[in-house]
Structure 1
Amino acid sequence: MYLCYNKAVEIAAKNRFPRNVTCKTAHGLAYAVYGSQYKHKQAGNLRLTDIARTINTQDWELAKDIVSTLNA
């Protein structure tokens, strides 16, 4: 197993290592084990207005970035 820092490194490692080496990010490894236990807590599609109201901002670019991150 090769543990990667981020997705870009994981993709590059998959092309570099032989097929018998599993390449995963730390997040991907944890999600594979614990993700189903917390699936009910995941929010699905969040709206910009909900995020902006929660963090008390009118910075729509920031809200958009947060929504993109959380929905990824």
Structure 2
Amino acid sequence: MVNWHSPYLWVWVRDELGVVQKDPNREVINRINLVFEIFGQRKSASKVLQTFNSEGLLLPRRNRFGDIFLAQA
């Protein structure tokens, strides 16, 4: 898979044929799903960040080379 930088850096990648798909990394998908789950409960992006930080949860990010790493929210 070739990385394609979209606004949703963690979730989407473009394959060799140019088709945009969800990132195959299950940890990334699960973590992003958790963001939306917490948002549904807390109704605020800042409260999602507070929850992630208070529980020591990390968010997936891409470095400038397109590699995924986990970092503090």
TM-score (norm 2): 0.30
- The structure where helix makes up a greater share of residues is 1
TM-score (norm 1): 0.30
| Higher Rg | 1
